[in-house]
Amino acid sequence: MAPALNSPTHGIEQAPHAEAPACARIAEGYPAALDGHEVADTGTPGVAVWGVKTAVLRCGPEPPARPAWGPG
């Protein structure tokens, strides 16, 4: 079910690995406020929003692919 239009997570998708135990541990340390904006109760694993999308954190995205031209 998609978030309601007035939801702090409307338009923000959960990352592929958002329900990983590491994301749950990280979420425990989210600050209650950032620059005067309170963290919203998103109800979406791996997503934290402060203010009206003033700051958005998504835990659990796919890591970027290594560039073909770099070392490695």
The neighbour count for residue 8, using CB atoms within 10 Å, is 21
6-51 pLDDT, tens digit each:
677 778 888 999 999 999 999 899 999 999 999 988 888 999 999 8
The neighbour count for residue 5, using CB atoms within 10 Å, is 7
Residue 26, H or E segment: helix 21-27
Cβ atoms 12, 40 nearer than 8 A: no
Of 6, 1, 14, residue with least CA distance to 45? 14
Within 13 Å of residue 26, how many CA atoms lie on the same side as its CB?
15
Q: pTM of the predicted model, to two decimals? A: 0.71
The pLDDT, as a whole number, for residue 3 is 56
pLDDT above 60 (res 72): no
